[in-house]
């Protein structure tokens, strides 16, 4: 039993790079700034810069190599469509797809789930009920004349 328990951890084959977990900065970038970008590469670079993350934190998280990431920023490559959602989550913004949509004369709209729609409807009903209650209390206390 003369084996070294730490031998496995010292072997480079067993060493794995830890994922970086820093959160992106929630920067407010004006839509006009996004639309002024002259190329997809410029929009991609703006999205990365607005995140406040290092390039390595982005390309490792979305599963592309440094060279390909660099080529996207230079306009020599594009981000695959199936990685756009993951990219947006990683950088914490939708600058890149917003720019793409604008090139088609469109804009992005967040899709509301059925639950979100129901919550909005219930909130609206609650607000109306609160107004009615306040009105009724005012009448009961003599602060308002009945209609």
What CATH homologous superfamily does 7-103 map to?
lambda repressor-like DNA-binding domains (1.10.260.40)
3 falls in which pLDDT band (50, 70, 90)? low
The confidence band for 25, taking pLDDT boundaries of 50, 70 and 90, is confident
Predicted confidence (pLDDT) per residue in 52-91, tens digit: 999 999 999 999 999 999 999 999 999 999 999 999 999 9
Look at residue 2 and tell me whether its pLDDT is greater than 60. no
- Whether the CA torsion 42, 43, 48, 51 is positive or negative: it is positive
pLDDT for 76 = 98
Sorted by where each begins, the domain ranges of the chain are 7-103, 111-147
| Residue 64, both tokens | 């592309």
- Looking at per-residue pLDDT, the higher value among 117 and 36 belongs to 36
Distances from the Cα of 145 to the Cαs of 134, 138, 140, 141, in angstroms? 13, 8, 9, 10
pLDDT tens-digit map of 91-146: 999 999 999 999 999 999 888 888 888 999 999 999 999 999 999 998 888 887 76
Look up tokens 């490559």; give the residue: 77
The 3 state secondary structure assigned to the chain is CCCCCCHHHHCHHHCCCCCCCCCCCCCCCCHHHHHCCCCHHHHHHHHHHHHCCCHHHHHHHHCCCHHHHHHHHHCCCCCCHHHHHHHHHHHCCCHHHHHHHHHCCCCCCCCCCHHHHHHHHHHHHHHHHHHHHHHHHHHHCCCCCCC
Pull the structure tokens for residue 57.
Answer: 């934190």
């Amino acid at each position: 039993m003369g084996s070294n328990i730490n031998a496995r951890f010292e072997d480079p084959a067993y060493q794995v790079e830890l994922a970086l977990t820093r959160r992106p900065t929630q920067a407010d970038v004006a839509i006009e700034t996004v639309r002024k970008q002259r190329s997809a590469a410029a929009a991609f670079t703006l999205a990365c810069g607005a995140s406040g993350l290092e390039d390595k934190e982005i390309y490792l998280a979305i599963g592309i190599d440094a060279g390909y990431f660099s080529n996207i920023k230079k306009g020599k490559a594009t981000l695959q469509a199936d990685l756009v959602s993951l990219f947006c989550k990683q950088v914490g913004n939708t600058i890149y797809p917003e720019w793409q949509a604008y090139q088609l004369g469109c804009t992005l709209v967040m899709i509301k789930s059925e639950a979100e729609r129901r919550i909005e409807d219930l909130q609206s009903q609650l607000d109306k009920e609160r107004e009615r209650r306040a009105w009724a209390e005012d009448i009961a206390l003599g602060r308002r004349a009945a209609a």
